[in-house]
Amino acid sequence: MYQIIHRNGLAKRARLITVHGVIETPVFMNVGTAAAIKGAVATTDLKDIRTQVQLSNTYHLHVRPGDEVVKKLGGLHRFMNWDRPILTDSGGFQVFSLGELRKIKEEGVYFRSHVDGRKIFMGPEESMQIQSNLGSTIAMAFDECPSSVASREYVQNSVDRTTRWLKRCRTEMARLNTVEDTINPHQLLFGINQGAIFPDIRIDHAKAISELELDGYAVGGLAVGESHAEMYHILDEVVPHLPSEKPTYLMGVGTPANILEAVSRGVDFFDCVYPSRNGRHGHVYTNRGKLNMLNAKYELDDAPIEEGCGCPACTHYSRAYIRHLLKAKEMLGMRLCVLHNLYFYNTMMEEIRQAIEEERYQEYKAAKLQGFQENDK
């Protein structure tokens, strides 16, 4: 059940109630592709950094260790010791990024494993079966994410097929949720809007999928090479055609600024590898923009990454120490930067929720964006 608590312009403050607990939105989901957040972050760390939802990947877990293995071990929640919500991406996007290794047909996609080269087939039914074996809280529909440079004709055909796939996903998920030994009989299904940079194709698709009464709706195929302005324009066009009383998820996005802009356009779920990937490279987010912790100017800097930050890195360690760890290639350096970055994102989402409730979202957003520019000039 999705309860809208407050609206401020198009921004929504809401709450998704699931069998694995409540998700307060807008939310940033922390990416753990292969059932682990990269940077040696354990699920036992996540409560300290205020993670609400962990995101994992159908394709990766199917290839290794295998979704049947995870099911035998009681499902993904038990396997990785995380009792709060998990969203699994459907595998569509990852398969499509394999490029030459794949072939798309009406029934699904034929491709080779990136691990051992073995041939695999995944269609809508297979994706739902894998996600059901994992027992995630929210399953994503199996979609094709067409290239941002694909022709209009290619994109139209692809989107039509994605709609047919979505209907197959819905039928299969309804069946799986009633199977006797299913891990999570209340698994939710979100559909995904596609259409590259063609607003009319996207709008028609948004209208078609809105009729299917899914548990939530994602906008996919963005942040794949188009400009930020183009992405915001697509959101302006498309989000009003998705049901605003349901969760709206912008997949794979993005920078803190992207999130602030998308929230004001009605988006309330996000995920992105940036905080963990940048953290592994010693790049950390602050309210005054990104810092490179490898920079020589931090050699004797006894201050935390960000003054006042309550994360496990800033409460205990200095910039100088973290810089030393990164220089010495100690794993702890990466880990502290990743924890700080995820805490930064999760805390920004808390501020966003509060600002919407207090009807000062636009002022909050403007001040936050201005602060970020201080180090990015």
Q: Which residues bind Zn ion (CB under 5 A)?
A: 305, 309, 311, 313-314, 340
Q: For this structure, is 271 an active site residue?
A: yes
Determine which one of 89, 143, 215, 268 is catalytic: 89
Q: How far apart are the first and last CA of the chain?
A: 43
Cβ of residue 314: shortest distance to ligand GUN, in angstroms?
30
Q: Exposed, middle or buried, 151 (CB in 10 Å: 0-12/13-18/19+)?
A: exposed
Cβ of residue 336: shortest distance to ligand GUN, in angstroms?
27
Q: Which CB sits closer to ligand GUN, 78 or 152?
A: 152
**Nearest-angstrom CA–CA distance, 142 and 57:** 12
CB contact set of 96 (below 8 Å; sequence gap of 6+): 102, 109, 144, 145
Tell me which of ligand GUN, Zn ion, none is bound by residue 143, counting a contact when its beta carbon lies within the kind-specific cut-off of 5 to 8 angstroms.
ligand GUN
Q: Cα-Cα-Cα-Cα dihedral of 230, 236, 242, 244, to 10°?
A: 140
Q: What tokens does 242 get?
A: 């998705």
Q: Which CB sits closer to ligand GUN, 147 or 244?
A: 147
Residue recorded with tokens 């360690």: 317
Cβ of residue 56: shortest distance to ligand GUN, in angstroms?
12
Of 200, 241, 245, give the one whose Cα is nearest residue 219: 241
Q: For this structure, is 83 an active site residue?
A: no
Tell me which of ligand GUN, Zn ion, none is bound by residue 251, counting a contact when its beta carbon lies within the kind-specific cut-off of 5 to 8 angstroms.
ligand GUN
Q: ∠ CA(297), CA(301), CA(307), 5° rounding?
A: 115
Tell me which of ligand GUN, Zn ion, none is bound by residue 89, counting a contact when its beta carbon lies within the kind-specific cut-off of 5 to 8 angstroms.
ligand GUN
Say whether 133 sits in a helix, a strand or coil: helix
CB contact set of 28 (below 8 Å; sequence gap of 6+): 259, 270, 271, 272, 345, 346, 348, 349
Tell me which of ligand GUN, Zn ion, none is bound by residue 192, counting a contact when its beta carbon lies within the kind-specific cut-off of 5 to 8 angstroms.
ligand GUN
Residue recorded with tokens 């995870």: 70
Residues contributing to the site for ligand GUN (CB under 6 A)? 89-90, 92-93, 140, 143, 145, 192, 220-221, 251-252
Tell me which of ligand GUN, Zn ion, none is bound by residue 220, counting a contact when its beta carbon lies within the kind-specific cut-off of 5 to 8 angstroms.
ligand GUN
Cβ of residue 281: shortest distance to Zn ion, in angstroms?
16
Cβ of residue 269: shortest distance to Zn ion, in angstroms?
24
Q: Which CB sits closer to ligand GUN, 270 or 361?
A: 270
Q: Which CB sits closer to Zn ion, 7 or 50?
A: 50
Cβ of residue 181: shortest distance to Zn ion, in angstroms?
43
Determine which one of 143, 215, 268, 271 is catalytic: 271
Q: Which CB sits closer to Zn ion, 97 or 315?
A: 315
Q: Cα-Cα-Cα-Cα dihedral of 172, 175, 86, 261, to 10°?
A: 50
Q: Which CB sits closer to Zn ion, 28 or 269?
A: 28
Tell me which of Zn ion, ligand GUN, none is bound by residue 309, counting a contact when its beta carbon lies within the kind-specific cut-off of 5 to 8 angstroms.
Zn ion
User: Which residues are known to be catalytic?
Assistant: 89, 271
